[in-house]
Amino acid sequence: MKYIVCKEPGTFVLEEKSPPKRKEGEALLRITKIGICGTDLHAYQGNQSFFTYPRVLGHELAAEILEIDDNPQGMEPGDKVIIMPYLSCGKCIACRNGKTNCCTDIAVLGVHTDGGMQEIISLPTDILIPSGTLNDKEIAIVEPLAIGAHSLRRAQIQKGESVLVVGCGPIGFGIIKLAQVAGAKVIAMDVNNERLKLAKEAFGVDHLVNALENPLESLLACNHNELPTVVIDATGNKKALESGVQYMAHGGKYVLVGHHKGNLSFNHPFIHSRETTLMCSRNATMEDMLKVKEVLESGEFPTDAYITHEIPFVEMIENFDAWLKPETGVVKAMLSL
Instruction: Convert the pLDDT of each residue in 248-295 to its tens digit.
Output: 999 999 999 998 888 999 999 999 999 999 999 999 999 999 999 999
Nearest residue to 258 via CA among 162, 170, 199, 334: 170
Inform me whether the pLDDT recorded for 49 exceeds 90: no
Q: Mind giving me the DSSP string for 283-294?
A: S--HHHHHHHHH
The Cα 180–Cα 54 span in angstroms is 40
Helix, strand, coil abundance in the chain, percent, nearest 5? 35, 25, 40
What does the pLDDT read at residue 326? 84
Percent above pLDDT 90 for the chain: 93
Nearest residue to 130 via CA among 69, 78, 170: 78
Summarize the confidence of residues 117-131 as an average pLDDT: 98
Summarize the confidence of residues 60-84 as an average pLDDT: 97
- Model-level pTM? 0.95
Phi, psi dihedrals of residue 297, rounded to the nearest 5°: -65, -25
Q: Which residues contact 138 (CB under 8 A, 6 or more apart)?
A: 296, 303
What does the pLDDT read at residue 144? 97
Nearest residue to 125 via CA among 175, 62, 89, 75: 75
* Topology agreement, domain 2-140+302-336 and domain 148-280: no
- The whole-chain average pLDDT of the chain stands at 96
The CATH architecture one would assign to domain 2-140+302-336 is Alpha-Beta Complex (3.90)
Classified by CATH at the fold level, domain 148-280 comes out as: Rossmann fold (3.40.50)
Summarize the confidence of residues 221-235 as an average pLDDT: 97
Inform me whether the pLDDT recorded for 48 exceeds 90: no
What does the pLDDT read at residue 89? 96
Inform me whether the pLDDT recorded for 64 exceeds 90: yes
Predicted confidence band of residue 128 (pLDDT cuts 50, 70, 90): very high
Q: Which residues pair with 30 in a beta bridge?
A: 64, 120
Percent above pLDDT 70 for the chain: 100
Inform me whether the pLDDT recorded for 137 exceeds 80: yes
Domain ranges (residues) in the chain: 2-140+302-336, 148-280
Per-residue pLDDT tens over the stretch 314-323: 999 999 999 9
